[in-house]
Amino acid sequence: MTNLSNNSYLKGGYESLIVYWLAIDISDLTAIFCKRFIDKKSRTFDQMIQASRSGKQNIVEGSLENSVESNLKLTGVARASYGELLEDYRDFLRQKGLNIWQKNDSRVIAVRRMRVNTNRSYKSHESYKSYLTDPEAFANLMITLCFKQGYLLDRLIRALQEKFIKEGGFRENLYKKRSNFKKIKS
């Protein structure tokens, strides 16, 4: 995920997060998927694009917050967006009569083993090209990536919770600084 001893994940360090780079892949791939396989005039098209965008943007916004509590809340919203997107891909497969690959399927394992490309090229989704032409393979790729993102976000949320427990919240720390300032001044 990231080096958790590094505080960059707490404020504005979203580019050091694997969840951010995976969010870019999921967002880009969802746009491609929707353009190819979902009616552009449908509500589903808009909702899938919005869920992938919301997930990514909430990771960024949370990271930019001064408050660990706000970061936690926004990271939780991102997590929920990927859960919603996951269901859209499952619905697509079910409604089209296509197979949902099981988690122990060799194709799912191959996707899970792929490393998230953090070379900042914004074209890392190209490593998934072999999945992009067949709707069943593409949707299952996206399901696997959404599960992977959920796992990574859960880890990030736990790390943020531990940080909050150990160091307190933004208001709590401001109050301590203000109290110390008053003591020094008097």
Q: What is the pLDDT of residue 2?
A: 43
Burial letters 29-47, b for 16+ CB under 10 A, else e: bbeebbeeebeeeeeebeb
Cα gap 75→58, rounded to integer Å: 6
| Residue ranges, the chain, pLDDT below 70 | 1-12, 119-124, 169-179
Q: What is the pLDDT of residue 10?
A: 45
Q: What is the pLDDT of residue 35?
A: 98
Residue 160 counted as domain residue: yes
Residue 2 counted as domain residue: no
Residue 1 counted as domain residue: no
Q: What is the pLDDT of residue 92?
A: 99
Average pLDDT over the chain, rounded to whole? 88
Place of tokens 């926004």: 74
Report how far Cα 112 is from the mean position of its chain's Cα atoms: 15
Cα gap 48→28, rounded to integer Å: 11
Cα gap 182→2, rounded to integer Å: 38
Burial letters 86-115, b for 16+ CB under 10 A, else e: bebbbebbeeeeeeebeeeeeebeebeeee
Q: What is the pLDDT of residue 6?
A: 42
Domain with 86, as residue range(s), is 7-185
Considering its fold, how many domains does the chain have in total? 1
Per the CB < 8 A criterion, the answer to whether 53 and 103 are in contact is: no
Residue 106 counted as domain residue: yes
pLDDT per position as a tens digit, 164-183: 888 876 666 665 666 677 78
Burial label for 130, CB within 10 Å (0-12, 13-18, 19+), is exposed
Residue 93 counted as domain residue: yes
Q: What is the pLDDT of residue 1?
A: 46
